[in-house]
């Protein structure tokens, strides 16, 4: 018997109305299901699951992706938020879900990033991200030295730096002036945040590159690192941050024939 995990953000799915409606539909179809509201709950239900359906915004999908990372479990997003670039369905399109249960869907593989912080020659911190890795200053501009495969890309002062996947190109990176990249592409996107020099521009790198951020010039200023907007790690002078394409991928379920371009135009208010 198929098992479907319903992963719900109760702040978005108010009263859990949408998720409860889907749960009722699944029960009528004889499909085993469970409702989770926390990543820890979700992680315990992965074994034997056929699919995870999220109810929330892109943040809910990011949390789900982290919880199921490495399992290969497909994720189907139902958008209950504002933008929802990663979500496949809107809240008024729940009728599509029967197709997913019957196996009539495709999978879109999304590239992820591995990030490591090296401090005094030792690995201090490791994580992964579906959207982006952000290095930011706190209240003051910071000095950043950026490298690709050990070769200097640029040195600049500014509010920080975003290293994103194509999936994350429509998030913080876009707001900071970065390019919009098709989400199923495989590139590493580098976007300076409010640089204090005119020539510090976004870069789109090949997926084989290893991006290094050198914090040797941090001095007495404060900075942090965050993956997919999760809890921040305080950075220290001399920290080396390495970001590269991960061996882990996120599998997103596709049910409709909507193009990425159509979704961007609609979500950004052009149409």
Place of tokens 């990030």: 115
Distances (CA, A) of 238 to 122, 192, 230: 12, 20, 23
Alpha helix segments (H runs only) across the chain: 17-28, 39-44, 58-68, 97-101, 172-175, 260-267
Establish whether 58 is a catalytic residue: yes
The CA-based diameter of the chain, rounded to the nearest angstrom, is 62
CA–CA–CA angle 135, 131, 93 (5° rounding):
150
Q: How many residues are listed for the chain in this entry? A: 271
Q: Where are the beta strands (DSSP E) in 176-261?
A: 188-193, 203-205, 211-214, 223-227, 233-235, 240-254
Tokens of 226: 């965050």
SS (H, E, C) 68-127: HCCCCCCEEEEECCCCCCCCCEECCCHHHHHHHHCCCCEEEEEEEEEEEEEECCEEEEEE
Compute CA 66 distance to the chain's CA centroid, rounded to the nearest angstrom: 9
Contact 48, 71 (CB under 8 A): no
Active-site annotation holder among 58, 114, 127, 239: 58
Give yes or no for a contact between 3 and 33, defined as CB atoms under 8 angstroms apart.
yes
Q: What are phi and psi of 263, to 5 degrees?
A: -65, -45
The SS3 assignment for 180 reads coil
| Beta pairing, strands 223-227 & 89-90 | unpaired
Which residues participate in catalysis according to the annotation? 58
């Amino acid at each position: 018997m198929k098992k479907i995990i319903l992963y719900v953000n109760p702040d978005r799915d108010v009263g859990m109305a949408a998720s409860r409606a889907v749960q009722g539909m699944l029960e009528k179809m004889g499909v085993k299901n469970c409702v989770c509201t926390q990543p820890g709950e979700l992680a315990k239900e992965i074994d034997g699951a056929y699919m995870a359906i999220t109810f929330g915004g892109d943040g809910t999908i990011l949390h789900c992706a982290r919880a199921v990372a490495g399992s290969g479990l497909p994720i189907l997003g139902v958008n209950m938020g504002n933008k929802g670039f990663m979500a496949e369905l809107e809240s008024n399109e729940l009728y599509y879900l029967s197709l997913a249960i019957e196996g009539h869907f495709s999978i879109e593989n999304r590239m992820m990033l591995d990030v490591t912080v090296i401090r005094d020659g030792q690995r201090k911190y490791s994580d992964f991200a579906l959207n982006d890795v952000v290095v930011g200053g706190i209240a003051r501009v910071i000095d950043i030295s950026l490298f690709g495969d050990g070769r200097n890309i640029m040195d600049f002062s500014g509010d920080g730096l975003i290293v994103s996947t194509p999936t994350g190109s429509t998030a913080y990176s876009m707001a900071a002036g970065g390019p919009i990249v098709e989400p199923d592409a495989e590139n590493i996107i580098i976007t300076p945040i409010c640089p204090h020099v005119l020539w510090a521009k976004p870069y789109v790198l090949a997926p084989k590159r290893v991006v290094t951020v050198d914090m040797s010039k941090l001095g007495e200023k404060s900075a942090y690192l965050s993956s997919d907007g999760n809890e921040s790690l305080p950075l220290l002078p001399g920290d080396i941050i390495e970001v590269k394409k991960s061996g882990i991928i996120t599998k997103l379920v596709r049910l409709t024939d909507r193009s990425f371009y159509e979704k961007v135009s609609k979500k950004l208010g052009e149409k």
